[in-house]
Amino acid sequence: MTGKDTISPLGSVLDALVKSLGIEKQVEQYKIFDAWNAVVGEQIAKVAQPDRIHNGVLIVTVSNAPWRAELTFRKKEILNKIHDTLKSKSINDIKFR
């Protein structure tokens, strides 16, 4: 190794790779899978978990109809918490199933 060679931190290398692949938005969106329990709280996390993201819409699997109705009613609140947590509005809707 010569004096001109440098070692880049792994994070910056991964950031550059994600950018070069053009998948920044997808990587950003999928952070909700790690943050979901903190965003919605323990009680909701027991009955509802994110399943996938399709065209900016987070699809959440809910264990029963009463909870699905409750979460649909609270969708705007949950979506705002997601935006605050991710510091992004890349997820623009939620569907509870």
CATH of the domain at 57: 3.30.300.180
Spatial CA neighbour of 83 closest among 72, 93, 71: 93
Average pLDDT over residues 69-81: 97
Asked whether residue 47 is assigned to any structural domain, the reply reads yes
Percentage of the chain lying above the pLDDT 70 cut: 81
Predicted pLDDT of residue 72: 98
Q: Is the dihedral of CA 93, 71, 45, 66 positive or negative?
A: negative
Predicted pLDDT of residue 8: 77
pLDDT digits (tens, 9 = 90+) for 20-66: 766 566 656 667 888 999 999 999 999 999 999 999 999 999 999 99
Predicted pLDDT of residue 13: 77
- Higher pLDDT pick, 80 / 1: 80
Asked whether residue 81 is assigned to any structural domain, the reply reads yes
Q: Which domain holds residue 41?
A: 23-96
Asked whether residue 13 is assigned to any structural domain, the reply reads no
Asked whether residue 15 is assigned to any structural domain, the reply reads no
Asked whether residue 49 is assigned to any structural domain, the reply reads yes
Asked whether residue 50 is assigned to any structural domain, the reply reads yes
Answer whether residue 89 shows pLDDT above 70.
Answer: yes
Indicate the SS3 state at residue 50.
strand
Q: Using an 8 Å Cβ cutoff, are 30 and 18 in contact?
A: no
For 8-17, 24-33, 76-85, which range has the lowest pLDDT when averaged over its residues? 24-33
CA–CA dist 44, 4 (Å, integer): 53
Give me the number of domains the chain comprises. 1
